[in-house]
């Protein structure tokens, strides 16, 4: 990803292909070091106010009840532009798409507790191998024997 910066503000984001199509006659790709790789010359891009963005991994993949949202890239002290992320709690609507209601979970617990396919020690379903405390909370969770 690349960003075009004017007055310290990002005015446009580009992929390398978009730069290619927007500046087809520019020298960006004619630098010998870059011609073969078909990668724009970052030094020449600076003349156009365009900077490569260093991609970073989304930070929230192991956290519960929050999701990561990609934000505007930011320039760090080293002068380079980095992809940035913001953590945001799921909204009620988003939660409802992922997690079943308390009533549904309660009904599922009741059914699983009476089922002979439940491993009582581990609280795991012997049919699907799932850990029941998580499986029953998910909207998309379902019993392989169609008991719920
Ligand atoms: S998920 Fe279905 S099969 Fe597994 S323990 Fe619960 S009721 Fe039984």
Q: What is the pLDDT of residues 85-141, one digit of tens each?
A: 988 888 889 889 989 999 999 999 999 999 999 999 999 999 999 999 999 999 999
Q: What is the pLDDT of residues 42-68, one digit of tens each?
A: 888 888 899 999 998 888 655 567 888
Q: What is the DSSP code (8-state) at residue 27?
A: G
Task: Measure 131 CA to ligand 1 centroid, in angstroms.
Answer: 10
| Cβ–Cβ under 8 Å, residues 105 and 130 | no
Pocket of ligand 1 (CB under 6 A): 111-112, 115, 117-118, 125, 127, 143-145, 147
pTM given for the model: 0.57
Task: Measure 95 CA to ligand 1 centroid, in angstroms.
Answer: 24
Q: Domain limits of the chain? A: 2-89, 94-135
């Amino acid at each position: 990803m690349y960003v075009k910066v004017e007055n310290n503000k990002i005015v446009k984001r580009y992929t390398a292909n978009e730069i290619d199509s927007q500046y087809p006659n520019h020298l960006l790709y004619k630098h010998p070091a870059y011609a073969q790789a078909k990668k724009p010359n970052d030094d020449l891009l600076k003349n156009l106010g365009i900077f490569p963005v260093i991609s970073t991994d989304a930070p929230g993949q192991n956290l519960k009840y929050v999701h990561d949202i990609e934000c505007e890239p930011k320039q760090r002290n080293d002068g380079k532009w980095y992809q940035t992320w913001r953590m945001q709690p799921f909204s009620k609507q988003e939660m409802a798409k992922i997690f079943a209601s308390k009533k549904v979970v309660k009904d599922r617990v009741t059914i699983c507790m009476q089922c002979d396919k439940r491993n009582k020690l581990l609280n795991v379903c012997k049919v699907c191998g799932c850990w029941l405390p998580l499986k029953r909370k998910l909207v998309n969770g379902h019993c392989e024997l169609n008991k719920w």
